[in-house]
Amino acid sequence: MISDGYYASKKSDDVCEDFCGQQASPTYLKMSRLRCFLRGLDLKTLIFFLLIVPSCIFGIYIHGQKITYFFRPLWQSPPKPFIHITHYYHENVSMPTLCNLHGWGIRDYPRRVFDAVLFSNEIDMLTIRWKELNPYISEFVLLESNSTFTALPKPLNFAINRAQFKFVEPRLTYQAIGGGFQKGKNPFIEEALQRKALDQLLRNAGIEDDDLLIMSDVDEIPSRHTIDLLRWCDDIPPILHLHLKNHLYSFEFQHSHPSWRASVHRYQKGKTRYAHYRQTDYLLADSGWHCSFCFRYIIDFIFKMKAYSHNDRVRFSHFLNPKRIQDLICEGADLYDMLPEEYTFKDIIGRMGPIPHSYSAVHLPSFLLENAENYKYLLPGNCVREPN
Ligand SMILES: *[C@@H]1O[C@H](CO)[C@@H](O)[C@H](O)[C@H]1NC(C)=O
Ligand SMILES: *[C@@H]1O[C@H](CO)[C@@H](O)[C@H](O)[C@H]1NC(C)=O
C-alpha cells in the first residue's frame, strides 16, 4: 500500500519527488501529497500565466500576418481565371506545323524582337537570360538606376560589368538614371517611374509597330523556342502572358504553381506601356523559367530583401541573419516566413511548408548546362552559398 502510494506520488508529480519520497508515515504522506499537489498547482498556474499567456500574445504578434493571410479566402476573391493557350513544341517539328497547331498562320519573315529589362544586380541571371534569347533578339534594352525601389543608393552594376556582355554590344540600348532617393516613399512609385523611363528608352531604341516586346523581370526568362514561335507566327494575340516554371533559390526548388507576370506584346505606338501586372487573359503554357532569389552570394539575398518593393515583409531584423538565410535556402522554405498567397483554404494548406527538392535538370537554359561548373549553385544538390 505504502509503496503503491509512494510510486503513485512519484509518478504523478515529479516536481515534488525529493521532498515527498522520503517519508513512510501514511498520514504524513497524504498531507504532503496534498501540499505537493497545491504546490504543483501553484507552479503550473504560475507557469501558465508567466509563460503560456505571454507566448500566446507574442505568437499572435509574430504570426499576425500569417493569420490574416490564412483567412485570405474570406476577404479576397480570386482573380478572373486565365484563358490557357496550349503550347506545342518539339525541336524536330517544323515552324509552319507548330504555328498551325496553335491555330496561327506562318509569316514570310520573322518579327523583330525587343527584350527590355530594369536591372538591379542580377548579373548571373542576366547572362543566362541573354544567352538563352540571343539568337532571336534584335535589340536588348536595359535600364538601371543608382537607387533601389526602396531609395537605397546602389552602384551601376551593369555599367561596372558591361565588358562581360560583349556578345550583345552591337544590339544594346543602355541607360543609367538617377533615383528619387526619397526615404519613406512608396517603393511602387519609384518602380513605376523606372518603368516609364524604360518606355522612352524603347522609343530611342527604334521600336516600331508590330515588333515583339518582351516585358519581364530579369529573372523571368522566356525559353528560346517560345520567342522563335511568337516571332514567326501570324495572328498571335496582341498581348500574351507567359506561364513560367516557378523556381525559388535555384532550379532545385520548383513551386507547384507557375508564374504568369512576364508578357509578350505586339508593340503599338502610343498604346503599349511597360508594365508588370496582369494585362490580358491569354496565358501561353510552359514558356520558360522564373527563378526568384536565385543568387550566388548570401549578401545578395540580404540586399534584395532590403531593396525589393515588398521590403515591408522584413518584419524582424533577424530575418536578415546570414545563418538563418542559408538554412532556409537549403530547406526550400520561405525567407519571410509567410503563407502562400492563395485564394482557397485547400490551396493555402496544400502549399504550406517548404518546397520539395527536385533532382531534374532537364529542359533548363542551355547556357546554364554548358557552364554548369560556374553556375553550380543554380543546379540541384548545391544549396550552400558563399557569404560574399
Ligand atoms: C532532328 O532534326 C535534326 C536536324 O534538323 C536531325 O539532325 C535529327 O536527326 C532529327 N532527330 C530526330 C529524332 O528526328
Ligand atoms: C544618382 O544619379 C544622379 C544622376 O546621374 C546623380 O545626380 C546623383 O548624384 C546620383 N546619386 C548617387 C547617390 O550616386
pLDDT digits (tens, 9 = 90+) for 219-240: 999 999 999 999 999 999 999 9
Is 386 part of any domain?
Answer: no
Shared domain for 220 and 293, answered yes or no, is: yes
Shared domain for 193 and 227, answered yes or no, is: yes
**Per this entry, what is the length of the chain?**
388
Taking alpha carbons only, the member of 178, 233, 179 closest to residue 210 is 233
Is 295 part of any domain?
Answer: yes
Shared domain for 173 and 37, answered yes or no, is: no
Tell me the CA–centroid distance for residue 307 and ligand 2, in Å.
17
Shared domain for 281 and 318, answered yes or no, is: yes
Residues of the chain with pLDDT under 50: 1-22
Please give the pLDDT value at position 308.
73
Is 387 part of any domain?
Answer: no
Which region, left, alpha or beta, applies to residue 317 given φ > 0 means left and ψ of -120 to 50 means alpha? alpha
Nearest CA to ligand 2 atom 10: 178
Please give the pLDDT value at position 15.
39
Please give the pLDDT value at position 161.
98
Shared domain for 357 and 259, answered yes or no, is: yes
Nearest CA to ligand 2 atom 3: 178
Bridge partners of residue 176, in order along the sequence = 144
Task: Give the integer Cα–Cα distance in Å for 38 and 273.
Answer: 73
The domain boundary residue, chosen from 70, 100, 125: 70
Taking alpha carbons only, the member of 210, 209, 216, 260 closest to residue 230 is 210
Taking alpha carbons only, the member of 127, 263, 143 closest to residue 204 is 143
Tell me the CA–centroid distance for residue 147 and ligand 2, in Å.
8
The domain boundary residue, chosen from 8, 41, 70: 70
Shared domain for 87 and 61, answered yes or no, is: no
Number of structural domains (the chain) is 2
Is 46 part of any domain?
Answer: yes
Shared domain for 36 and 135, answered yes or no, is: no
Is 8 part of any domain?
Answer: no
Ligand 2 contacts CB of residue 65 (under 6 A):
no
Q: C-alpha cell of 209? A: 509597330
Shared domain for 203 and 318, answered yes or no, is: yes
Ligand nearest to the CA of 95: 1
The residues, any chain, with a CB within 8 Å of residue 77's CB and separated by 6 or more, are 343
Q: How do strand 282-284 and strand 83-85 relate by DSSP bridges?
A: parallel
Shared domain for 110 and 219, answered yes or no, is: yes
Is 20 part of any domain?
Answer: no
Shared domain for 34 and 173, answered yes or no, is: no
Nearest CA to ligand 2 atom 5: 178
Taking alpha carbons only, the member of 296, 270, 289 closest to residue 386 is 296
Q: Which domain holds residue 359?
A: 83-378
- Rounded to 5 degrees, what are φ and ψ at 313? -75, -15
Shared domain for 43 and 142, answered yes or no, is: no
Shared domain for 41 and 184, answered yes or no, is: no
Nearest CA to ligand 2 atom 9: 178
The domain boundary residue, chosen from 17, 41, 70: 70
Is 354 part of any domain?
Answer: yes
Taking alpha carbons only, the member of 125, 121, 127, 181 closest to residue 157 is 121
